[in-house]
Structure formats: structure tokens, C-alpha cells
Amino acid sequence: MERAFLTRFAWLSIAAAVLTIALKTAAYLLTGSVGLLSDALESLVNLAGALIALTVLTVAARPPDDDHAYGHGKAEYFSSVAEGTLILVAAASIAVAATRRLISPRPLEQIGIGLAISAVAALVNLAVGLLLLRTGKRYNSITLEANAYHLLTDVGTSVGVLAGVGMVALTGWQRLDPLVAYVVAANIVWTGVRIVRRSVAGLMDVSLPVEEQRALQNTLDRYAKSGVQYHALRTRQAGARRFVTVHVLVPGEWTVQRGHQLLERMEADIGRVVPNVSVLTHLESLDDPASWDDIALDRSTAPPRDE
């Protein structure tokens, strides 16, 4: 599937990050709120993440070559690991700024216009985040999904900051401002951990999601009812690509042509229930004892067969 067009969404994310940085920085300078400063710092991470996403999506769109026979889809995981790490760095920076302000509180200024500007920035992130999330899910791009979740988390933190700064204006309790910043930091830490954990799982060749494995096994089980057996089923995901390998056992008297036609049908049926999948099947004879030596995930660990 051609995926080079996905880079346009990374450009959109970059534009949104630049705009929101300008708006949130202006809101901070007007009010002096450390809560609004934390919001602006998170937008800096959005910009860095969007720039990384642009680079990685460009690499991931490259077709397979001699050195990368399975394509470049795993590059997307590096983007989301980097973005998750940047989120954690931003959280630490926010916590440091909040601690200083908690120790030495200061009154806020021009709160009304500052909150209005920050609200506009939140709406920009909301619109772009929802678009990226929809596109990322449609085209199985973990890079766009990670970027989208970060933007939507930014919206949530912005709402919290707006509420906190508004409460400062109503109550006059200045230390509420850095306390809100601590909540923002904790929230984005959770987001960063989720993104990094999902990306590391992809780099470690984690199996397909449970619902996709269930659909795959249901498809294979339909063939098993007709006397065909299968084993050594393995699945993994690399970016948008899914990979499935399976050994199919048929009666020994079958011709090569008949077995080949069966595998073609099975691969086509798997492709209909698992999106964007590459299927590798291996034909074996039900009548050959050697066919049962590779049931284990790692054939090298299987017990030796007596000749």
C-alpha cells in the first residue's frame, strides 16, 4: 500500500505545533502562569514529535529493498519511542518549574485574555488530533496515532490548566497554579509511558492483537474441519504490516498442484480477515512423522526424532 501521502499529516501536525507554541507562549507571557508555561512546554514536545514523525513516515514509506526485504515499516516504532521519551522529559521540566513557583508564588496578570488565547490553542490541537487519530487508525500508522494521542492529551491538560488558572483568579490562592502544573506533569507521564510501552512491544515482534488472532484461527479452523491440519502458527506486526506464517498438513497422496491451490485459498481468506498482511505458508504431509517435529515455536528446542 502506498503510504508516502501520510507525510502530509505530519506537516499538518508541525504547523499546528508551531501555532500553538506561539499562542501558549503569548498566554504565559501575559499571565505569568506556570500552568500555562507547562502547557507551552508540552507543545514544544509536540513540535519535536511531529518533526520526528515526518522523518520516520518518509522512511517507512520506502518499498522493500535488498537490505530490507520486509520493508521499512518498523521505523515507525522509533518515532513513537522518541516521542514518548520527549513527553517524559517535558514532564520533568514542568515539575521543576512548578516546584520553583510553589516555593515562591507570584500573582497572575491579565488572566482573561491569557485564558482566551490558550483556549484557541486547545481547539487547534483538538481538531488536528482527531484528524490524525482517524487517519492513523485507518492506515495502521502507530506514528500518527502516537502523535494524535499526544495532541489529545495536550487538549486535556490545557483544559485542566484553564480550569486551574480560572480558580486562581476566583480564589486568589496562588499556589493552586503550580499544583495544576504538577497534575499536568503526571498526566503526560502516563501518556509517555503508554506510547513507549506500545512501541517497545512492536520492536520486540509482539504477536497480532487478540481479535485479529481470533479471526485468523477461525479462518484456519474452517479448513481443519475438512481434514486439513495446521500448526506452528506465528504472527507479528511491523508498523502497518502484519506477518503470518503457518504450516499446513494435508494427506500424503495429494498432488503438489492440489496442495498449492489449497494454500492459495487459505492465504486469500487470511488476507480478508487480517488487514495489510503478508502470509507465508509451508505445506507438509500428514503421513510424514517429520511434519510433527516443528510444532514448538522454536524448532531447535524440539526433541530429536528417532530415525
Is residue 51 pLDDT above 60, yes or no? yes
* Domains in the chain: ranges and CATH: 4-203 (1.20.1510.10), 210-301 (3.30.70.1350)
Query: Which of 9-23, 143-157, 195-209 shows the lowest mean pLDDT across its residues?
Result: 195-209
pLDDT value of position 49:
76
Residue burial 179-211, b: 16+ Cβ < 10 Å; e: rest: bbbbbbbebbbebbebbbebbeebeeeeebeee
Other CB atoms within 10 A of residue 304 CB: 6
Is residue 227 pLDDT above 70, yes or no? yes
Other CB atoms within 10 A of residue 41 CB: 24
Q: Give mean pLDDT, residues 19-31.
A: 87
Residue of 181, 167, 195, 170 lying closest to 28 (CA atoms) = 181
Is residue 192 pLDDT above 60, yes or no? yes
